[in-house]
């Protein structure tokens, strides 16, 4: 996967070609010697590389989350967080959500954890990325970083000079571990967070575009129906699958212990 991703990205001109996939959340518990001082905020703790969460290149800003949109509006909320800390408009952000090949593994989307875990990670990663960009601009412009300001996708100097984020990043810029503390923006000056934004997922849903898992149609896709046990703890003792296997369209009957499913063409 890393090889093909690298090839794809370098062919398409992306400036950041590396990608870090973090440990799943369950691995957190296996870590030892972690204290409050060294723990990273939210899901950064299990997926600490900034470029697992953010990519900035000539095509724009892409944010990655392991959480899925279920109508709770998290795509919009996560975009708001990233836009706030990166000092860009929400429309400047492309969000990639819950793609097993591209996004951090954040486990289930459940229990009101999306903002707490993924949102916290994205907000802190975006703030740290912004500070990295300001630092790069400081060196480039020969200006003290405290005099520079990130705004509208660029770092601006008091004399009017500006360098766009995409011109500051190279392929390794964000391939760094997150730090425990982040220079989060001042809540008193928030432009995007804390305000209502129209949900980005609603237009596709009212227009009949691809919006639900049911709308995915993959080449050669077949369908399965799981045969559920009549009660919790029930065990499948025996099954005579031959009559089913001969039905038209049935491709196979899958049994794994007490798990039973029938795979068929549509």
Partner 1 sequence: MTSLVVNGRSVEVDDDPRTPLLYVLRDTLQLNGAKFGCGLGQCGACTVIVDGAPVFSCQTPIADIAGRHVTTVEGLGTRQRPGIMQQAFIDEQAAQCGYCIAGMIMRAQALIERTATPADDEIRAALEPNLCRCGTHSRILRAVRRAVRARQAAMAGGLSSPGLPG
Sites of contact with partner 1 (CB under 8 A) = 70-72, 198-199, 201-203, 205-212, 214-215, 217, 266
Alpha carbon of 137 to those of 36, 156, 165: distances in Å? Answer: 32, 8, 9
Nearest approach, Cβ of 215 to partner 1 (angstroms)? 4
CB of 74 to partner 1, least distance (A): 12
- The end-to-end CA distance of the chain, in Å, is 31
CB of 198 to partner 1, least distance (A): 6
The CB-of-138 to partner 1 minimum distance in angstroms stands at 41
Residue closer to partner 1, measured from CB, 80 or 182: 80
Q: How far is the CB of 79 from partner 1 (least distance, A)?
A: 15
Q: 182 near 50, Cβ under 8 Å?
A: no
72 vs 241 by CB, closer to partner 1: 72
CA 3/CA 9 separation, integer angstroms: 10
Q: Rounded to whole angstroms, what are the CA distances from 167 to 29, 105, 128?
A: 39, 30, 18
Q: Which residue shows structure tokens 């129209």?
A: 198
Angle, vertex CA 192, rays to CA 191 and CA 196, nearest 5: 125
Residue 147 vs 205, nearer CB to partner 1: 205
In this structure, are residues 78 and 65 in contact, taking their beta carbons and an 8 Å threshold?
yes
> Nearest-5° angle of CA 132, CA 137, CA 141?
155
Nearer to partner 1, 140 or 199 (CB): 199
Crossing angle of helices 74-86 and 120-141, in 10° steps, is 20
The three-class DSSP label of residue 167 is helix
The least CB distance from residue 195 to partner 1, in Å, is 14
């Amino acid at each position: 996967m890393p090889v093909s991703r690298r090839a794809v990205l370098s062919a398409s001109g992306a400036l950041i070609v590396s990608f870090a996939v973090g440990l799943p959340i369950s691995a957190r518990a296996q870590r030892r010697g972690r204290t409050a001082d060294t723990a990273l905020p939210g899901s950064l703790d299990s997926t600490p590389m900034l470029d697992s969460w953010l990519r900035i290149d000539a095509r724009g800003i892409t944010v990655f989350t392991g959480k899925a949109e279920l109508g709770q509006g998290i795509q919009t909320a996560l975009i708001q967080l990233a836009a706030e800390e990166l000092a860009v408009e929400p429309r400047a952000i492309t969000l990639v959500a819950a793609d097993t090949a591209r996004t951090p593994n954040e486990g289930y989307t459940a229990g009101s954890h999306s903002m707490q875990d993924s949102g916290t990670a994205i907000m802190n990663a975006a703030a740290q990325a912004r500070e990295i960009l300001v630092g790069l601009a400081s060196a480039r412009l020969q200006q003290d970083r405290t005099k520079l300001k990130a705004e509208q996708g660029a770092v601006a100097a008091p004399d009017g000079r500006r360098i766009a984020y995409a011109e500051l990043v190279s392929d390794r810029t964000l391939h760094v571990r997150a730090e425990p503390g982040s220079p989060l923006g001042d809540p008193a000056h928030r432009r995007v967070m804390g305000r209502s934004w129209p949900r980005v997922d609603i237009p596709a849903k009212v227009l009949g575009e691809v919006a639900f898992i049911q709308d995915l149609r993959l080449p050669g896709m077949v369908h399965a129906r799981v045969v559920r046990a009549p009660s919790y703890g029930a065990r499948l003792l025996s099954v005579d699958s031959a009559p089913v296997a001969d039905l038209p369209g049935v491709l196979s009957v899958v049994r794994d212990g007490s798990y039973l499913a029938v795979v068929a063409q549509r």
